[in-house]
Amino acid sequence: MGLLLCSGCPGDPDSRDDMGTGVPLTVTSAGTADDGPADTGDKLDVGGANGTGIGDDGGDGMGCEKVDFLFVIDSSRSMQDEQDNLLASFPGFITAIEQTLEIDDLNLMVIDAGLIAGAGCDGILGAGRVTSSTGQDCMLAGGQRYATAAQPDLVAAFTCMASRGFMGPGDEQTMDALLAGVGPLTAPGACNDGFMRDDAILVVTIITDEEDSPLDGNPLPPLDGSCASADSDPNSAGDPVAWHDELVALKGGDEDAVVVLSLIGDCDIGGSCPGIATDDPSDPLAPVTGAEPAPRLREFTQSFGYGSVGPVCAADYAPFFEAAVSVIESACDDFIPQG
């Protein structure tokens, strides 16, 4: 049976006004998404009685009966203008997943793109978040640092975990956080123990308005909307090729077991996001808009056969997520679990 979600809950997309137009979806060669939202009328039978996994399309049998969803979210000051979009669109993504992919077994984890101060796992880069940015307990069932299909209200838990705020660290270590979150931190007894499973598809979603590059060194950024680097942070080690190879290795060498969805800045390719701008760079509470160009994160995302990119400045992320469901569907169709 499909996953039961909370319909009519606070934040249900059906209760919201239309916040904007569709988000362009760029998919690499293996993906099959259209530019528009996926048709949610036909459901993908992930664990059907016929044992085919993907409805009755003649696939090789297993499909993705299990999916591990990881969200890497930038919570820095410059994300202020994206926060309402995130919270408005997340329930829609979960609804689209429920309507299209009838998954009985999933893990769902949210991590910060930067290092958060705290005790124990709360202060470790890449550890799953169990509270909102204001300290609200997300009430995750089972005691793990991620939600599972046993969560009584997955939308409410997801919204709580994803409420990262915009007063987080300014040094985004997006890829270091991602690789730690699904690497060392998943070892027995570690913070994210049990999150990533060999027999599950891994779906990574990155949401950030800044690049991840140790060469992104601009101590005096213009912050006037220009398409330029906007900080001089150390960021993550490595490069897109190394990141790709490390993530694939963590999935047993199976690139087709990984889906990467990234909402990032795109002014460097003539996209809809202007560069980062603020009226008062010296005021930590002054509104910040726009997004830094992110060619390295784009290269990483598009290095995967099931990788898609959209603009983080979009007024509404729901169309991007809805269209991305068909990318996940394609990955499911080709997935052969290890063992």
Binned at pLDDT 50, 70 and 90, residue 39 comes out as very low
Superfamily the domain 65-334 falls into: von Willebrand factor, type A domain (3.40.50.410)
**pLDDT (mean) for 120-144:** 95
Q: Give the angle subtended at the CA of 157 by the CAs of 154 and 163, to the nearest 5°.
A: 135
Q: Give the domain ranges of the chain.
A: 65-334
Compare 109 and 52 and report the one with higher pLDDT: 109
d(CA 76, CA 112): 10
Q: C-alpha 279: how far from its chain's center?
A: 29
Q: pLDDT value at position 115?
A: 92
Q: pLDDT value at position 182?
A: 98
Q: pLDDT value at position 339?
A: 61
Report which listed range, 220-224, 307-311, 319-323, is most confident: 307-311
Tell me which residue of 248, 214, 239, 219 sits closest to 231, measured CA to CA: 219
Terminal CA-to-CA distance of the chain, rounded, Å? 25
Look at residue 52 and tell me whether its pLDDT is greater than 80: no
Tell me which residue of 169, 6, 155 sits closest to 87, measured CA to CA: 155
**pLDDT (mean) for 289-300:** 95
Look at residue 230 and tell me whether its pLDDT is greater than 60: yes
Q: pLDDT value at position 82?
A: 81
d(CA 212, CA 259): 19
Pair type for strands 258-264 and 201-207:
parallel
d(CA 126, CA 192): 9
Query: Interhelix angle for 240-250 vs 174-181, to 10°?
Result: 10
Least reliable range by pLDDT among 190-199, 255-264, 277-286, 311-320: 277-286
Look at residue 10 and tell me whether its pLDDT is greater than 60: no
Over residues 149-158, the pLDDT tens digits come to: 999 998 899 8
Least reliable range by pLDDT among 34-48, 100-114, 265-279, 310-324: 34-48
**pLDDT (mean) for 316-329:** 86
β strands within the chain, DSSP E:
26-27, 66-73, 105-112, 147-148, 201-207, 258-264, 277-278, 288-289, 307-311
- Cβ-based neighbours of 135, under 8 Å, separated by 6 or more: none
Q: pLDDT value at position 102?
A: 67
Least reliable range by pLDDT among 4-13, 107-116, 256-265, 314-323: 4-13
Q: pLDDT value at position 31?
A: 42
Task: Provide the 3-class DSSP secondary structure of residue 46.
Answer: coil
The DSSP call for residue 111 is: E
**pLDDT (mean) for 113-139:** 94
Q: pLDDT value at position 122?
A: 95
Q: Which helix (H) or strand (E) holds 151?
A: none
d(CA 231, CA 161): 27
